[in-house]
Amino acid sequence: MSQLRIGLIGNGSISDSHLLAYQCNPKAELVAICDLNESRASAGAKKYNIPYVYTDYRELLANPEVDAISICTWNNSHAEISIAALEAGKHVLCEKPLCKTVDEALRVEEAVRRTGKVFQVGYVRRHASNISVLTKFIDAGDLGEIYFAKASLVRRIGNPGGWFADKERSGGGPLIDIGVHVIDLCWYLMGKPRVKSVSGNTYNKLGNRSNIENYSFYKTSDYDASFNTVEDMANAIIRFENGASLMVDVSFSLHAKQESASISIFGDKGGAEIEPTLSIATEKHNTIINVEPQITTPGFDFQESFQNEIDHYIDSCLGIIETNSPVEDGVEMIKILNALYKSAAEGREIKF
Ligand SMILES: NC(=O)c1ccc[n+]([C@@H]2O[C@H](COP(=O)([O-])OP(=O)(O)OC[C@H]3O[C@@H](n4cnc5c(N)ncnc54)[C@H](O)[C@@H]3O)[C@@H](O)[C@H]2O)c1
Q: What whole-number distance in Å separates Cα of residue 198 and Cα of residue 335?
A: 10
- Average pLDDT value for the chain: 97
pLDDT digits (tens, 9 = 90+) for 62-118: 999 999 999 999 999 999 999 999 999 999 999 999 999 999 999 999 999 999 999
Among 53, 56, 74, residue to substitute to test ligand 1 (most atoms within 8 Å of Cβ):
74
pLDDT value for 341: 98
Which protein residue has the closest C-alpha to ligand 1 atom 4? 14
Distance 241 CA to ligand 1 centre (A): 35
154 in Cβ contact with 259 (< 8 Å): yes
pLDDT digits (tens, 9 = 90+) for 228-246: 999 999 999 999 999 999 9
pLDDT value for 164: 95
pLDDT value for 113: 98
Q: Of ligand 1's atoms, which has the minimum distance to the CA of residue 162?
A: 19
pLDDT band at 126 (very low <50, low <70, confident <90, very high): very high
Q: Per residue in 298-311, is it b (16+ CB within 10 Å) or e — as a string?
A: bebeeeebbbbbbb
Does the C-beta of 271 come closer than 6 Å to ligand 1?
no
Which protein residue has the closest C-alpha to ligand 1 atom 39? 12
Q: Give the residue-averaged pLDDT of 250-260.
A: 97
Q: What whole-number distance in Å separates Cα of residue 120 and Cα of residue 130?
A: 20
Among 20, 36, 80, residue to substitute to test ligand 1 (most atoms within 8 Å of Cβ):
36
Rg, the chain, Cα only: 20
Judge whether residue 316 has pLDDT over 70: yes
pLDDT band at 340 (very low <50, low <70, confident <90, very high): very high
Domains, the chain, ordered by start: 4-125 (3.40.50.720), 126-307+332-351 (3.30.360.10)
pLDDT digits (tens, 9 = 90+) for 137-181: 999 999 999 999 999 999 999 999 999 999 999 999 999 999 999
Q: What percent of the chain has pLDDT over 90?
A: 96
pLDDT band at 1 (very low <50, low <70, confident <90, very high): low
pLDDT value for 218: 83
Among 17, 83, 95, residue to substitute to test ligand 1 (most atoms within 8 Å of Cβ):
95
Does the C-beta of 55 come closer than 6 Å to ligand 1?
no
pLDDT band at 225 (very low <50, low <70, confident <90, very high): confident
Distance 75 CA to ligand 1 centre (A): 7
Q: Give the residue-averaged pLDDT of 3-16.
A: 96
Q: What whole-number distance in Å separates Cα of residue 150 and Cα of residue 167?
A: 26
pLDDT value for 222: 84
pLDDT value for 2: 76
Distance 209 CA to ligand 1 centre (A): 22
Q: What whole-number distance in Å separates Cα of residue 19 and Cα of residue 211?
A: 34
pLDDT value for 100: 98
Distance 194 CA to ligand 1 centre (A): 30
Q: What percent of the chain has pLDDT over 70?
A: 100
Kindly state the helix (H) or strand (E) to which residue 291 belongs, with its residue range: strand 287-291
pLDDT digits (tens, 9 = 90+) for 188-201: 999 999 999 999 99
Does the C-beta of 251 come closer than 6 Å to ligand 1?
no
Among 8, 9, 13, residue to substitute to test ligand 1 (most atoms within 8 Å of Cβ):
13
Does the C-beta of 40 come closer than 6 Å to ligand 1?
yes
Distance 13 CA to ligand 1 centre (A): 7
Q: What whole-number distance in Å separates Cα of residue 91 and Cα of residue 111?
A: 11
